[in-house]
Structure 1
Amino acid sequence: MNYFELFGITPDYSLDLASISQTYRELQMQFHPDKFATASESDKLAAMQKASQINDAFQTLKSPLRRAEYLLSLAGVDLQHEQQTLRDPAFLMQQMEWREQLEEIAQSADPDSEIAAFEKLLKTHQETLQQQLISELAAHSYNDAALLVRKLKFMFKLQQELELLEESLLE
């Protein structure tokens, strides 16, 4: 059973996260190992496996990046273990510029405002890529969607690096 079936929803990138959270709680209550404390060992094991599957499904579905990778895997495109590099020269140049910008923030006289501006810039680009991803997935253009997921991976990683920089500057 795939994660979308487990949660009783149609496979789609755009999801109602509140609804998924509610279904997650219901499924967890139904299959929580404590409810099987007096059951046979095989039933306990089955409940534990089901609870684990529910947790994995929820973590995947609530994360935009993991959800996109999962949708692509359902379509036969597995990005989890690939080593393919991004071959988009314009995006590669943009990556270099963003990396330079990130380095300059640490040396800035006013890092707080630069962090906020850079964060806003990254969010805008992430939202644009996610909208394009929605279109490509809807059109079943899985290779184009995979390219967008690779770009989003970079964007989310850069966002994390920005957060780490912000934390280090606060110390």
Structure 2
Amino acid sequence: MNSQKNHFELFDLPVGFMLDSGLLAERYRALVRAVRTDVLSDQGDETNRLLAHIDLAYQTLTEPLARAEYLFRLYGVEGVESGADEDPPSTKFVEEIECQEALIAATNRSDPGAALSEVLTRLAERGAALDKELHQLFADPTPTNLNAAREVVRQLQVLARCRRETEERQAKLLRSRPD
């Protein structure tokens, strides 16, 4: 196995944001099996290094935000994580405030569990729309599209934080209910 391949090449997948997660998982399992069965001699360090490389590649491609950041690196541009495109702090702040307001409103409703579920549904729908937009932008990785993709990734990061907070509030609500 050539550990110099990029993550997509490693799993014999086309480079792009959208991918077949079932096919990725299938190829991951096959690759791990192949590495483990090919090593008949005492090459434990090399095997562990290869397995670690395969695991890192799989985890990166499995997680959409990590996959997007990896694509930015492949295309040779600064991603969101690098802080290259500093949006005005007010933009992120406004989005975070809107999330907090939605969570407070949901928590104060007569059925907060259902309201929080509605928030999660809206977040999932918005996330799916942003994923689709990223797919289109990465399908044609021009500088303009890659800049636009950074903004979409930033929005996905805000959505992910809001989703985590919503799930935490939902779990807290479930724990506080009398049995």
Shorter chain as denominator, the TM-score bin is: 0.7 to 0.9
2:8 aligns with 4
Q: Distance in 1 between matches of 2:95 and 2:52?
A: 39
Which TM-score applies when normalising by structure 1?
A: 0.87
User: In angstroms, what is the RMSD of aligned CA positions?
Assistant: 2.2
2:157 aligns with 153
Amino acid at match of 1:112: G
Deviations 1:72-130, CA, capped at 9 Å, x for gaps = 11111243642354349677534422221112333332111101211111112111211
Cα gap change, 1:170/1:157 in structure 2, threshold over 3 Å: closer, same or farther? same
2:100 aligns with 99
Q: Is the 8 A contact 1:86 1:150 kept in 2?
A: no
Amino acid at match of 2:152: L
Q: Distance in 1 between matches of 2:105 and 2:65?
A: 28
Identity fraction in percent:
26
Which TM-score applies when normalising by structure 2?
A: 0.83
1:35 Cα shift?
Answer: 6.5
Cα gap change, 1:88/1:124 in structure 2, threshold over 3 Å: closer, same or farther? farther
Q: Name the count of aligned residue pairs.
A: 167
**What is the correspondence of 1:87-126 to structure 2 with a 5 Å cutoff?**
87=88, 93-126=94-127
2:41 aligns with 39
Cα gap change, 1:133/1:79 in structure 2, threshold over 3 Å: closer, same or farther? same
**What is the correspondence of 1:12-27 to structure 2 with a 5 Å cutoff?**
12-27=16-31
Whether 2:62 is the aligned partner of 1:58: answer no
Q: Is the 8 A contact 1:60 1:70 kept in 2?
A: yes
Q: Is the 8 A contact 1:102 1:162 kept in 2?
A: yes
Q: Is the 8 A contact 1:133 1:148 kept in 2?
A: yes
Q: Distance in 2 between matches of 1:80 and 1:144?
A: 11
Deviates more, 1:72-81 or 1:156-165: 72-81
- 5+ residue gaps, structure 1: none
Amino acid at match of 1:6: L
Amino acid at match of 1:50: L
